[in-house]
Structure 1
């Protein structure tokens, strides 16, 4: 194994010992490398995601496959060791962003063999896919980023552009990639209208920034004071709507009138992205769409959503899902964020205060929460 020569024997890591319990900070050995695809990084920042909360509550079974578990599937770090037979173009000292998917994919399933197509030009080349069902996922089905050192798959990494910090990057490796890919799945052209329901949350406020920089006419929706304030404070130029005081029907008519539309069915948004797990949020988003509009679902509530067949049949509303994005998309996201100044509104905590971070998350005040490894305890 080639390294920078300064690797310690042990590291600190935060463990989930059981569901619905606080994390426990312990000292454990630094992990070692296995396959030629693996790389050891020193974790510089690890971001907390809604999925971390769902996983910790025991709502993603069979994941994690066993306890104790180290969470976090969006993090960033610096490469400190490579296997002697490394297949990677990365080198020691490179700064990289790490997503959850895909660690050690099979390389032979239909997902891995697919490659880019006219319908999916952003897919990864044959032999690797973030959608491989046999792959492991950092922080979900294998140890993640809430630790000082982590073994990752070189094929899943994205180089960090100049101008982006590790903290800035960590939040983009799931939240950023997810909302960016969802916006691409809206299949819009600059000047068309898109809505983001849940616009003040971790994904939503990044989505406002991405969408406006993509040239869309953007409408953000939320229903709580703190997230609405986050959405307004970033001053993207998007219209921000409080769904507690304005109905989807009224908003659709307003934007339709602005666009010079005469028929009610032609009034509203061309596409909408649904981020909350609330049926009310889903219904509101569908209500914003013009006939023939597209709804892109990112959330996956345990009980699902009730969908009106009338909207699908009589209004020709299409509904598609969006999970994450390919490695190609992840790299594109970081470059886009660096070039256009897309940054998360965030609060940082040291590794030892992960439980304080979790308590802050449950306040629901919007933005992103990140472990910054450079902070003192």
Structure 2
């Protein structure tokens, strides 16, 4: 095995019960049992809404104890035995890792012809049914010091992008970037972002305005609205608790597309009112109780409804390049590795932006 020196034991945060704090434990390092895998030292790991869903045991109930986190970045410290490189990566490369698509089969219909159609060439699909839900979701993630990851689902970080910068981009950033690509909008088209001050929303504002879209951000949380305004993107920011959708933008001159990020019915309805007849509503959230959809909107107004979750390897690399070229960055609050439960508390207090464990941070 080509390797740098690293220990035999590591610390990991374990979810031992649903709806309970994480517990810090000593664990052995994971082994490399797949020729596609590389070992990384985790440098930064970001908390995602899906981590909260997993910790609650609602949509997904992984076997316990469970290590969460599916958006992170780190340094490669070991390769499979006898390999000087793995899928073009070498020891000491700093990479970002997306949690979905771990050990894709490459042979199923989904891998060869991904659906829904993406604006990228077919390849190893993140929706491969043989890959499971992904690292940190139905299998161990990266709230730990070291990890074995599939070398086919990582991207080398470009210069100018730190591990703390990159970690939130590996799910939140990739998800909204891919959703915008699927909207097939052109410069000058009108986009709405419901939940514009959240982890995904504030990144969507930056991506959309840098793409030349006339962007309207909508939220109700005062801290989220403040963050959205402080981004300085030039987007129109609306407090939905004070302005009705019809007052904001009549349907006859409505938005071409709306991203729905919150998980409650009210912002869904607000976004549906904002979109023009024949426009697109793109869902990125999946509440367990679902959404109520009016047949009038779908049949008479001809509103199209589509869902999006994550993005391909091509999208992952395109997105990193876009962030460097246009200065797109997540607004982060960082914590020491030992402060995961503090981070989770702040998440549930609706701290805006992205919350990240920075392995290099100390008091």
**TM-score tier (shorter):** over 0.9
Output one character per residue of 1:11-49: Cα deviation in whole Å (capped at 9) or x when no partner. Answer: 111000010110000111111111110000000000000
Whole-angstrom CA distance in 2 between matches of 1:325 and 1:239: 27
Secondary structure of 1:36's match?
A: coil
Q: Find the counterpart in structure 1 of residue 230 from structure 2.
A: 233
Cα distance, 1:339 vs. partner? 1.0
Structure 2 gaps of 5+ residues are none
SS at match of 1:111: helix
* Residue 106 of structure 1: aligned partner: 105
Worse-matched range after superposition: 77-86 or 88-97: 77-86
Confirm or deny: 8 A CA contact 2:59 2:288 kept in the other structure: no
Which runs of 4 or more aligned residues in structure 1 lie more than 2 Å from their structure 2 counterparts after TM superposition?
A: 84-87
Listed as ranges, the matches of 1:134-153 within 5 Å are 134-136=130-132, 137-153=134-150
Counterparts of 2:111 and 2:216, CA distance in 1: 36
* Partner deviation per Cα, 1:167-214 (whole Å, 9 max, x = no partner): 010000000000111111222110000000000000000000000000
What is residue 155 of structure 1 aligned with on the other side? 152
Q: CA deviation at 1:113?
A: 2.0
* Cα shift readout 1:222-256 (whole Å, capped 9, x = no counterpart): 01101000101111000000001111111113xxx
Shift of 1:120: 2.6
- Secondary structure of the structure 1 residue equivalent to 2:305: strand
**Structure 2 counterpart of 1:120:** 118
Give 1:306-321 correspondences, 5 Å limit: 306-321=292-307
1:353-372 paired onto structure 2 within 5 Å: 353-372=339-358
- Which segments of 5 or more consecutive residues in structure 1 lack a partner in the other structure? 254-264
Go from structure 1 to structure 2 and tell me whether the alpha carbon gap of 1:281 and 1:160 turns closer, same or farther (over 3 Å shift).
same
Partner Cα distance (1:184, 1:315) in 2: 23
Distance 1:215 1:318 in 2: 22
Deviation at 1:376, TM superposition (A): 2.2
Q: Residue 8 of structure 2 corresponds to which residue in structure 1?
A: 9
Contact kept, 8 Å, 1:116 with 1:123, in 2: the verdict is: no
TM-score relative to the length of structure 1:
0.93
Decide whether the 8 Å contact of 1:124 with 1:328 is kept in 2.
Answer: no
Note if contact 1:36-1:85 (Cα within 8 Å) is conserved in structure 2. no
* 82-91 or 192-201, larger mean C-alpha shift: 82-91
Which of 310, 314, 319 is the aligned partner of 1:328? Answer: 314
Residue 19 of structure 1 is matched in structure 2 by 18
3-state SS, counterpart of residue 355 of structure 1: helix
